[in-house]
Amino acid sequence: MLLKLSQKGDEMTFALAGNQNCGKTTLFNQFTGSNQHVGNFPGVTVERKTGVLIGYKNISVVDLPGIYSLTSYTREEIVSRDFLLKEKPDCIINIIDATNIERNLYLTMQLIELQIPMVLALNMMDEVQANEGFIDVAGLKKQLGIPVVPISAAKKHGLSELTEQAVNIAKYRQKPMRIDFCPKGAVHRAVHAVSHLIEDHALKFDVPVRFAATKILEGDQKVTEQLCLDDNEKDMLDHAALEMEQELGTDREAAIIDMRYNFIGQLCSRCVTKPVESREYRRSVRIDKVLTGKFLAFPAFFGIMLIVFWLTFGVIGTPLSGLVETGIELISTAADKAFTAYGLSPAIHSLIIDGIFTGVGAVLGFIPIVVTLFFFMSILEDSGYMARIAFIMDKPLRKIGLSGRSFVPMLIGFGCTVPAIMATRTLTGERDKKMTILLTPFMSCSAKIPIYALFTAVFFPEHAVAVMIGLYLAGMILGVISAFVMSRTVYKGAPVPFVLELPNYRFPSAKSILRLMWDKSKDFLQRAFTVIFIASIVIWFLQSFDTRLSIVTDSTKSILAGIGQKISGIFVPLGFADWRVTTSLLTGFIAKESVISTLAVLGGDIQTMFTGLSALSFLVFTLLYTPCIAAAATVKREFGSIKGTLFVVIYQTAFAWVCAFLVYQIGRLIAV
């Protein structure tokens, strides 16, 4: 029987709030299972996960972005704060890393000031106890004035009690009992003076008085604007802040920060016995001496990626792709014979066999390669090494005007450009965001794998792995060169400071790996059965009919041939001018997988369309030009303008043409 005493009726909303790497996502998955969906917060491009609490069909759980404070510096902090202030969830579940309790409690103190029913979840308590640490849960509860529940989200310990406490305080609208954390003194007087001055405004605009007072003293302009204070009131508030600064000899923001950490220090001295260095931490330190060391970090990184690509393209993925292609060929042959025996209409017969089976089948054959690559990337991510990659790449990226944080979207770009561009939402500066968006498409997404795999197998069979790795490295190097130029021309300025917490290395769990692998592979599969399906039909139609909509027996007289022939001259200097090749590049703008499906539908032997050198030029052009129309649409959404999107598309295509031109022409000179 569900509890039904929420002020909002039967429906309840729980908000999960916490720092990054505190186990919040693990708790969200345990709470909601598969009953979750991903979208965006209204009006902003920051990911929002929402699910239904298991056992309580009327309780929604919202996973807020991982943040360290309720300031207004980043999009994540702004959307989290706006959600809590405007949506007013029935309960905040503040999950904190019990092994690093001092830093995590900084956000807790600000959440308490919001005066929303709240429960504190002490996660990773099993690690604290295993390393001889102790936390006085009852003492924390008394000092903070909120329920405190020890849990281990990964091991599902304490989740039932946490759920029960959250439902109970939401049911009775039990607000935190304590909101005043400052002792007598300058900060105390300033906070109470400001609270008195803004009380009427805060009540009018439904903003918690204590929260607004501390934010105003910190210098948060968004809160000041939200309360619509007049100039006289602003002067009085500034005077209160100035008196506090003069008495303490520090600036207003530092004074509030010191107040919070002083309270946290006293609280932890009474309630927390710090654990000794954990075995996981000591192990991570030893591993990091190699993987993030001054001289070994980059060789280790490239060595690991070399092994991943070798296993993907040389040992596991390619043989499995051969089996899938054989299966598709057998099904296609059987269907062809069945349609012929049945006497199916030649047009429909051709559509299914030459259009759908040939086009979609050509892409599906590469699914094992894509899934294998995602499997290894998921292991790197779940083990904690992905965060190290961002750390070691910070210094070199700063030389081209970016921070290590930009490398995370770049890594995601090896899977798919669309989520990679969306991942730039976590970057704090607009300059960093736009530069990273411009740089990300140079990373080889999974959709390009079928092109690389086919061309390397046909033209460079003895050096397929080397060519494949070379393409990936070339994309990164050329992207870096492009970013370097842009940072000194279009996007001048300094990158935003980069702060990253390195989690301990952990042995990846099979469940987590499979979840990550499926999430990343799902997009490829969806496109194969939607975009590629439609594209294959369109391509079949254009190559089967002429401008009078008559079926053609010679594909050179088709609509598609006419389009390809008109623009093929542009690619003559690059070494490939066959209209079928040109057409495949056009359809590749719909989705990169369509390049192979188009060549398959149009027929012909690619060995007659290319030489080894022109094939390499074609690969370079494919590597660098605009990934797909979905990526362009995502750029438009993130840039917020068509003009900016057109600039990105034109720039990338022109850059690709120039690079492919240099490869072909220099190659010809060397050959001579």
Write the DSSP assignment of 601-619 as a string of letters.
HH---HHHH--HHHHHHHH
Residue ranges making up the domain that contains 530: 298-500+516-671
Last residue of a domain, one of 171, 205, 227: 171
Tokens 């390619």 belong to which residue? 318
Query: Any idea what the CATH number is for the domain that residue 190 is in?
Result: 1.10.287.1770
Count of other CB atoms within 10 angstroms of residue 208: 20
What one-character DSSP code corresponds to residue 57? T
Pairing of strands 59-63, 91-97: unpaired
User: Are residues 313 and 242 part of one domain?
Assistant: no
pLDDT at 16 (0 to 100): 94
Query: Any idea what the CATH number is for the domain that residue 53 is in?
Result: 3.40.50.300
User: Are residues 191 and 164 part of one domain?
Assistant: no
Do the domain assignments include residue 652? Answer: yes
User: Are residues 157 and 89 part of one domain?
Assistant: yes
Do the domain assignments include residue 281? Answer: no
- Distant-in-sequence, close-in-space partners of 215: CB < 8 Å, separation ≥ 6: 70, 223
What is the Cα–Cα distance from 670 to 653, expressed in whole angstroms? 26
User: Are residues 549 and 483 part of one domain?
Assistant: yes
User: Does the pLDDT at position 46 exceed 60?
Assistant: no
What is the Cα–Cα distance from 5 to 169, expressed in whole angstroms? 10
User: Are residues 137 and 92 part of one domain?
Assistant: yes
Do the domain assignments include residue 289? Answer: no
Do the domain assignments include residue 230? Answer: yes
User: Are residues 262 and 213 part of one domain?
Assistant: yes
Per-residue pLDDT reduced to its tens digit, 501-520:
667 787 777 777 777 677 66
User: Would you say 430 and 51 are in contact if contact means Cβ atoms under 8 Å apart?
Assistant: no
What is the Cα–Cα distance from 640 to 647, expressed in whole angstroms? 13
pLDDT at 149 (0 to 100): 96
Amino acid residing at 475: G
Summary mean pLDDT of the chain: 81
Model pTM? 0.64
Buried b (16+ CB within 10 A) or exposed e, 238-265: eebbeebbeebeeebeebbeebbeebbe
Buried b (16+ CB within 10 A) or exposed e, 483-520: beebbeeebeeebbebebeebbbeebeeebbeebbeeb
Do the domain assignments include residue 506? Answer: no
Amino acid residing at 620: V
Do the domain assignments include residue 179? Answer: no
User: Does the pLDDT at position 496 exceed 60?
Assistant: no
User: Are residues 442 and 357 part of one domain?
Assistant: yes
Measure CA 139 to chain center: 39
Per-residue pLDDT reduced to its tens digit, 584-632:
888 777 677 778 877 776 766 788 888 889 889 999 998 888 877 767 7
What is the Cα–Cα distance from 56 to 11, expressed in whole angstroms? 10
User: Are residues 258 and 395 part of one domain?
Assistant: no
User: Are residues 192 and 131 part of one domain?
Assistant: no
User: Are residues 205 and 165 part of one domain?
Assistant: no
User: Are residues 471 and 352 part of one domain?
Assistant: yes
Do the domain assignments include residue 287? Answer: no
pLDDT at 367 (0 to 100): 76
Write the DSSP assignment of 345-359 as a string of letters.
-HHHHHIIIIIIIHH
Q: How confident is the model at residue 6 (pLDDT cuts 50, 70, 90)?
A: very low
Beta bridge partners, 62, equal: 15, 50
What one-character DSSP code corresponds to residue 463? G
Domains contained in the chain, number: 3
User: Are residues 196 and 166 part of one domain?
Assistant: no
Per-residue pLDDT reduced to its tens digit, 257-288:
889 999 999 999 999 988 777 677 788 888 88
> Residue 305 has which token pair?
């990626």
Do the domain assignments include residue 399? Answer: yes
Beta bridge partners, 60, equal: 13, 52
